[in-house]
Amino acid sequence: MIDLTVILKNVPGKLADLGETLGRNGINMEGVCGFPLKDEFFIHILVEDETKTRSILEQAGYQVSAVREVLVLTGQPGTNILGQPGTGGKIARKIGNAGVNIDLIYFAGLNRLIIGVTNLEKAKAALGENLD
């Protein structure tokens, strides 16, 4: 899956505009995370089709500042990925012990934990069977 970082003006209605633009064009935000910084709002959206999503956003005048593949971790059917105390720490420790930095983390729909890292292949190797 792909995480796109989009920069919006930090004013009422801008996130709604973004969501409506994507929805009208058949793009589902599989996950979303955002935070304000002064007059801007940085939003991370998780999508399946980077090319189509980026094209739609840019044609609508949105600034896509970053595009990256991310780790997608899921729990077993019927369980929560972080359903036991310490699970998040164990995941982060495995990645850290591999010498990889986590620089993005958020939850997405369907019980998924999204993690952005500085070295995707090393992180995948460190986690092994925990990946979706």
User: Which pLDDT score is estimated for 80?
Assistant: 72
Total residue count of the chain as it appears in this document: 132
User: Which pLDDT score is estimated for 131?
Assistant: 56
Structure-model confidence comparison of residues 73 and 130, the more confident one: 73
Question: Which domains does the chain show, CATH number per domain?
Answer: 2-69 (3.30.2130.10), 71-130 (3.30.70)
User: Which pLDDT score is estimated for 129?
Assistant: 62
Which of 52, 49, 47 lies closest to 30 in space, CA to CA? 47
Q: Which residue has the tokens 């970082």?
A: 5
pLDDT, tens digit (0-9, with 9 covering 90-100), for 8-56: 999 999 999 999 999 999 999 999 999 999 999 999 999 999 999 999 9
Structure-model confidence comparison of residues 129 and 67, the more confident one: 67
Helix axes 50-59, 14-24, angle to 10 degrees: 120
pLDDT, tens digit (0-9, with 9 covering 90-100), for 84-120: 788 889 999 999 999 999 999 999 988 889 999 999 9
User: Which pLDDT score is estimated for 93?
Assistant: 96
Model confidence, pTM: 0.89
